[in-house]
Amino acid sequence: MSLVHEIDYGTPRSKSAKQVTLTVDGQKVTVPEGTSIMRAAMQMGTQIPKLCATDMVDAFGSCRLCLVEIEGRAGTPASCTTPIAPGMVVKTQTERLRQLRRGVMELYISDHPLDCLTCSANGDCELQDMAGAVGLRGVRYGYEGENHVFAKQGGAANPSWLPEDESNPYFTYDPSKCIVCSRCVRACEEVQGTFALTIAGRGFDSRVSPGMQESFLGSECVSCGACVQACPTATLNEKKVIEIGKPEHSVVTTCAYCGVGCSFKAEMRGEELVRMVPYKNGEANRGHSCVKGRFAWGYATHKERILKPMIRAKVTDPWKEVSWEEAINRAACEFKRIQAKYGKDSVGGITSSRCTNEETFLVQKLIRAAFGNNNVDTCARVCHSPTGYGLGQTYGTSAGTQNFDSVEDSDVIIVIGANPAAAHPVFASRMKKRLRQGAKLIVIDPRRTELVKSAHIMADYHLSLLPGTNVAMLTAFAHVVVTEKLYDERFIRERCDWDEFQHWADFVSSPQNSPEAVAKISGVPAEQICGAARLYATGGNGAIYYGLGVTEHSQGTTAVMAIANLAMATGNIGRPGVGVNPLRGQNNVQGSCDMGSFPHELSGYRHISLDEPRHLFEKDWGVTLDKEPGLRIPNMLDAAIDGTFKGIYIQGEDILQSDPDTKHVSAGLEAMECVVVQDLFLNETARFAHVFLPGSTFLEKNGTFTNAERRVQLVRKVMSPKNGYEDWEITCLLSKALGYEMNYGHPSEIMDEIARLTPGFANVSFKMLEERGSVQWPCNDKAPNGSPIMHVNGFVRGKGKFIVTEYIPTDEKIGPRFPLLLTTGRILSQYNVGAQTRRTANSIWHEEDRLEIHPHDAEQRGVRDGDWVRLASRSGETTLRALITDRVAPGVVYTTFHHPDTQANVITTDYSDWATNCPEYKVTAVQVSPSNGPSRWQQEYEEFSRETRRIAHTEAAE
Amino acid sequence: MSSSEDAPHDTGNKLVYMANQIGTFFKSQDADTAPAKIAEHIAKFWDPRMRRAIVAYLDSGGAGLDPAARQAVETLRASIPRS
Ligand code: SF4
Ligand code: SF4
Ligand code: SF4
Ligand code: FES
């Protein structure tokens, strides 16, 4: 194995379709118009020396190392900033160029430390490479004069010297090694879009500076790592590389955090991970990353990770470490005993959206085939199940319609109930790039998210509506579109049912759906609603991106339908730049849904009651399947409390922390006789567990993840599982112990089975993914190369279906006791319930969950910034510290749910979406009052938590 | 349940709440077809024990069930497998 090598072409690819031919060093080369000479040369394999150019950012032309000679032109132009022209004749190496380049390098080296041998970038430094490339053999100038290299100059402090900045937990900035090429500055602007870095000063005094001469940690920097990647020297360098040394081999794999699905090179030294570097060929991220995937993988080796199986008779007992065999047998015996006593339907399981497709598929197979019922569900229940039902009804498939690249062709972007800068950072960077090029932006969100106003971006409309009024708002948009005749009649007649459209048009045109009426409900002025609706309908390619702020409502499904209606009515479906795009949270939420994790459907979204698909599975699996739908997560908990559901197998989910109404969840878990948790850590749910099976990380397994754009990508094992088994192997062991054998030698065989049984995956295989890198489903004989964009020649269901979306206010209402509306969300550096990110240095950016409250509401209650406050709802109460900000409107408060201490879900109610039971996280009526510290519930919980996490360490006889 | 101030906790009431919630959507589509659509939705997404429970609830009076939902639950009986 060796390092996966990526070519740096020096400047970005030109998108022009027109080809131009020129001659470089006597060879003819044909490239797209607009390509730089540097890139053209590299394309034929000639690397022109360069320092300030790299293909992730636009050329700047400052180092003067890449000079070339062009026939018929005077001087020596920089090849990075000079575009090619037809018939151009270029020479990249002449005596004159050699002299010039040596002179340039000599100057650079004369102000650079010569500690190459002990430098962390030794062997991975472009300055070093270029010194070699230009044949530099000596430096005529000494360090006696002005320099940036030494702290002291002739005994006195050197005013030009700056100390190292180690404030960022993951990388260092050593100004003495900086060559001021500005690659980092451009990467931060162009790739990441944060504009945290500038070049301060001029000439010899110019320095890279985060913000206004701040430290990296104190600046706007979000630690995405783009600057570190861009830096040609050791100036910006990963601390891990400094600590461990240069990696020697690398493996391409997929990030296990969010639904963007960034592709990374895991750079290794033996089985030790040195760093994760975003992979340019990754089609989801195109070489970019965020702090989580790039840096926050330390949890994989965190000391709290559990590596041995454990059992206990009662949840109040301490855990006892046992062999795998004993733990698996205990779980299997318990499930069998429970089924014998309480009936076949008294057990079930939960698949994980953090595990691979193959692992998810096996868990649902175990439940359907070995348990013999359909009591399987997944965490997508609590996030995007309304997307499945809503888009399924209107378009015929639950899939998001676009790929991420599509955003580059959008003219108007609506972001509703989503905060991509925090939850889907790399996609947000790509969206921001398009916005900086001039696309228009409409943000519909109760809170002023980062996107509304950030560096060089300003939303054209921010409709700050009251939580719970999405359906009214979207229907008002439709009202404007229909009554002002802004709809696309040709599209509708061609692709939708015209009668249904008219029925719908009548409904949306009624006065109760007018912007004026909705202004009263939502608190957004009618003119703003009209303006935004007109912009979307008439501004060119219109794309809608939405998140959990749409789905996690009692009308979540209806809101998804309203979005689908709007896109159909305006003809914004079926080509690049448009579409309806659910931004899915966890890395494999899409996959876990595709793989048949829902109790009513088999993989590929086929209802369990349909004979044809069910018989297909029965034949393949050699069992008879139950044709009745099983229980969904909230139903399982209800049934547990009622005494008809007694045992559960949970792979890689923490329902106690992530599901609403914590007290209800704990009551359900407490009522069960056998709870088996398979995870990396003793998570919150595990406190009610009887068997704990240690899981493996994404670094320790092979498989696939499917990201939010339906892209199936390989996850590759880079180290052996510290716990002994990959998660799919554990499921096989359990299934076998239950009496149903599963025999797979490798996850690729599981994928073959998925492909055999799932029409949309028919042509997917590991071999194909090895060759292509990734593919977007459906991928079968009809779409052998996959499907970047859906519904291109018509809707999957045939005719697009317009559905009436009447606004029905939630029953969760404010009143005198609970006068404020709480809505919840997440932040960039932490991930979901935080089990992983809290166990990394990312906590430096988010030590605790805070309650955002408007200054007006805070003042009324005598709450000051940073005070402890009591947050109470009809379900329960908790305490946390207040953060006073006008990001939220008066009457609305907001918090995240990353920390178990806060237990924000003690507050949320168990109201849920009418169609899918997706919980209503986004609206809870609450009261806020000053408090002295943690609530009694939090203290008791803390106590109980310690109690249930004890492990009685025995000297294992291994 | 003391009043609408409280979240729908106890399972019987919760099923009624869910059935009515489904009913509200389908009534907004078309009042005539609503009962059939509600029944179809419930048969598709509720496991047999939940269906059995709501039918039993109807048999014991069915207080709180909205008329369309009530009609739907009537027709559910046939879809429930014998256990
Ligand atoms: S890490 Fe990212 S955000 Fe921070 S300075 Fe570098 S490019 Fe900018
Ligand atoms: S820090 Fe690195 S990328 Fe930035 S200007 Fe200095 S050498 Fe160039
Ligand atoms: S967390 Fe998401 S955006 Fe960040 S690197 Fe991973 S996949 Fe990419
Ligand atoms: S690489 Fe062209 S001027 Fe620096």
B28–A806 C-beta distance less than 8 A? yes
Q: Whose CA is nearest to atom 1 of ligand 1?
A: A223
- Name residue A879's beta-bridge partners: A870
Cα separation, A671 vs A647, whole angstroms: 9
pLDDT tens figures, A340-391: 999 999 999 999 989 999 999 999 999 999 999 999 998 877 777 788 888 8
pLDDT tens figures, A26-73: 999 999 999 999 999 999 999 999 999 999 999 999 999 999 999 999
Over residues B53-70, mean pLDDT: 88
Closest CA to A186 of A175, A198, A171: A198
B82 Cβ partners below 8 Å, 6+ apart?
A: none
Interface test with B, best of A393, A506, A628 (most B CBs within 10 A): A628
A915–B29 C-beta distance less than 8 A? no
Cα separation, A311 vs A328, whole angstroms: 10
B83–A910 C-beta distance less than 8 A? no
How many whole angstroms from A776 Cα to the centroid of ligand 3?
18
What does the pLDDT read at residue B2? 32
Which ligand has the nearest atom to the CA of A63?
A: 4
CA triple A290-A291-A297, angle to 5 deg: 115
What does the pLDDT read at residue A899? 67
- Choose the closest CB to A628 out of B24, B28, B48: B48
What does the pLDDT read at residue A792? 86
Give the confidence band of A109 by pLDDT, cuts at 50, 70, 90: confident
What does the pLDDT read at residue A204? 80
Size of interface A-B (CB pairs under 8 A): 71
Q: Whose CA is nearest to atom 6 of ligand 2?
A: A178
Q: Token pair 């078309």 is at which residue? A: B30
Residue A726 above 70 pLDDT?
A: yes
Q: Which residues of B touch A (CB under 8 A)?
A: 4-9, 11, 14, 18, 21-22, 24-25, 28-29, 41, 44-50, 81, 83
Residue A671 above 60 pLDDT?
A: yes
Cα separation, A99 vs A877, whole angstroms: 74
Cα separation, A820 vs A818, whole angstroms: 6
Per the model's pLDDT, the better-predicted residue between A174 and A299 turns out to be A174
Cβ neighbours, 10 Å, residue A608: 22
A875–B46 C-beta distance less than 8 A? no
* B29 contacts in chain A (CB < 8 Å): 803-804
Report residue A507 as tokens: 């409904």
Give the confidence band of A809 by pLDDT, cuts at 50, 70, 90: confident
CA triple A161-A164-A169, angle to 5 deg: 165
How many whole angstroms from A284 Cα to the centroid of ligand 3?
10
Q: Tell me the residue ranges of DSSP E strands in A701-855.
A: 703-706, 711-715, 774-776, 820-825, 850-853
Cα separation, A310 vs A319, whole angstroms: 6
**Could you tell me if the CB of A705 is within 6 A of ligand 3?**
no
> Nearest CA of chain A to the CA of B13: how many Å?
11
Cα separation, A257 vs A77, whole angstroms: 45
Ligand 3 pocket mutation, candidates A260, A429, A587, A831, criterion most atoms within 8 A of CB:
A260
Q: Whose CA is nearest to atom 8 of ligand 1?
A: A188
B44–A600 C-beta distance less than 8 A? yes
Residue B83 above 90 pLDDT?
A: no
What does the pLDDT read at residue A828? 59
State ipTM.
0.84
What does the pLDDT read at residue B8? 40
* B47 contacts in chain A (CB < 8 Å): 345, 374-375, 599, 628-631, 635
> Nearest CA of chain A to the CA of B79: how many Å?
10
Q: Token pair 């070519």 is at which residue? A: A7
B5–A808 C-beta distance less than 8 A? no
Give the confidence band of A957 by pLDDT, cuts at 50, 70, 90: very low
Determine the longest span between alpha carbons in chain A, in angstroms: 92
Which ligand has the nearest atom to the CA of A253?
A: 3
Closest CA to A299 of A263, A268, A256: A256
Residue A423 above 80 pLDDT?
A: yes
Give the confidence band of A846 by pLDDT, cuts at 50, 70, 90: low
Residue A932 above 80 pLDDT?
A: no
A875–B24 C-beta distance less than 8 A? no
Residue A603, classified by CB atoms within 10 Å of its CB into exposed (0-12), middle (13-18) or buried (19+), is buried
pLDDT tens figures, A450-494: 889 888 888 999 999 988 899 999 999 999 999 999 999 999 999
**Could you tell me if the CB of A54 is within 6 A of ligand 2?**
no
B8–A806 C-beta distance less than 8 A? no
Long-range contacts of A335-340 (CB under 8 A, 24+ apart): A335/A371, A335/A647, A335/A649, A335/A674, A335/A738, A336/A738, A336/A739, A338/A646, A338/A647, A338/A673, A338/A674, A339/A371, A339/A647
- Name residue A878's beta-bridge partners: A871
- Name residue A320's beta-bridge partners: A311, A952
Interface test with B, best of A393, A510, A636, A638 (most B CBs within 10 A): A638
- Structural contact between residues A297 and A268, judged by C-beta atoms closer than 8 angstroms: no
Q: Which residues of A touch B (CB under 8 A)?
A: 343, 345, 374-375, 554, 557-558, 599-600, 607, 609, 628-632, 635, 638-639, 641-642, 644, 661, 664, 803-804, 806, 808, 811-812, 815, 817, 874-875, 909-911, 914-917
B46–A915 C-beta distance less than 8 A? no
A642–B9 C-beta distance less than 8 A? no
A745 Cβ partners below 8 Å, 6+ apart?
A: none
How many whole angstroms from A257 Cα to the centroid of ligand 3?
6
> Nearest CA of chain B to the CA of A339: how many Å?
14
> Nearest CA of chain A to the CA of B45: how many Å?
6
What does the pLDDT read at residue A158? 83
A638–B45 C-beta distance less than 8 A? no
CA triple A881-A863-A895, angle to 5 deg: 40
Cα separation, A16 vs A509, whole angstroms: 44
> Nearest CA of chain A to the CA of B25: how many Å?
8
* A664 contacts in chain B (CB < 8 Å): 9
pLDDT tens figures, A222-280: 899 999 999 999 999 999 999 999 999 999 999 998 889 999 999 999 999 999 999 99
B40 Cβ partners below 8 Å, 6+ apart?
A: none
Domains of chain A: 19-133 (3.10.20.740), 152-301 (3.30.70.20), 310-383+588-760 (3.40.50.740), 385-450+470-582 (3.40.228.10), 820-947 (2.40.40.20)
Per the model's pLDDT, the better-predicted residue between A883 and A202 turns out to be A883
Cα separation, A47 vs A39, whole angstroms: 9
**Could you tell me if the CB of A356 is within 6 A of ligand 3?**
no
